[in-house]
Each structure stands twice: as structure tokens, then as C-alpha cells.
Amino acid sequence: MPRLKYKTLTEQMFYILLCLTEERRGMEILKLVPEITEGRVSVGSATLYNLLESFLEEGLIRETRAEGRWRSYILTKAGEDRLGEEYQRISAQAQDYRIYVKGEKRE
């Protein structure tokens, strides 16, 4: 069985997609990720542009504008779905932690 690409997302992937819930340029994403995460996560420009290219190929984002070197992107429906699935996966992990470490009851 072939491995599904992006079955789970790295933190960098997650935050790039999160940034693209609104139309943004790459440089805006580079600044916004550390802002959203209070410096906990950053993305290098090479990583960002490689991931943007991969996300385009996978249909998770689409290019909205091209002005010279500047490109703008936004999530597609598939990207929104993938971001939501990842949120659910992370939330389930957090719930497991609360249950097994903190002794809380399952919601």
C-alpha cells in the first residue's frame, strides 16, 4: 500500500497551511509563523518555498497572483480539509495526554 503524502504534517507544514487560510505571499508567511507561535516555530525560506511547491503539486494550495517574483497563495478545499484533519489528530493526542497523564475523563 503506498504511503499517503502528508498523512501527518510537521509543525512547519501545519503553520504554513494555517497562514494560507487567507491569501498571503511567501515573505508574509515567513514573518507570520514565528508571530503566531510566539517564536516557538520558524520556517526558513528554502523550506517554505519547497513546501509551497509540494503543496501546489498536491492541490492543497493554489496560486492566486503572480507579480514579477512575488507569488500569492491560498488554501484549496483539499488544503482546508487536510488542515482540519491535522487539527483533529493533534487534538486527539492532547486528549490522550490529559486522560493518561492527568487522569481526566474521556470527553
- The Cα 103–Cα 84 span in angstroms is 27
Does 107 have pLDDT greater than 90? Answer: no
Domain boundaries, the chain: 11-100
**What is the per-residue pLDDT across 63-95, written as a single tens digit (0 to 9) for each?**
999 989 899 999 999 999 999 999 999 999 999
**β-bridge pairing 70-75 and 61-67:** antiparallel
* CATH architecture observed for domain 11-100: Orthogonal Bundle (1.10)
- The Cα 90–Cα 88 span in angstroms is 6
Does 4 have pLDDT greater than 80? Answer: no
Beta-bridge partners for 24: 73
- The Cα 47–Cα 39 span in angstroms is 17
Cα(first)–Cα(last) distance of the chain, in Å?
Answer: 33
**What is the per-residue pLDDT across 9-35, written as a single tens digit (0 to 9) for each?**
999 999 999 999 999 999 999 999 999
What are the residues whose beta carbons fall under 8 Å from the beta carbon of 33, sequence distance 6 or more? 12, 15, 16, 19, 41, 42, 43
Provide the 3-class DSSP secondary structure of residue 106: coil
Single pTM value for the model: 0.89
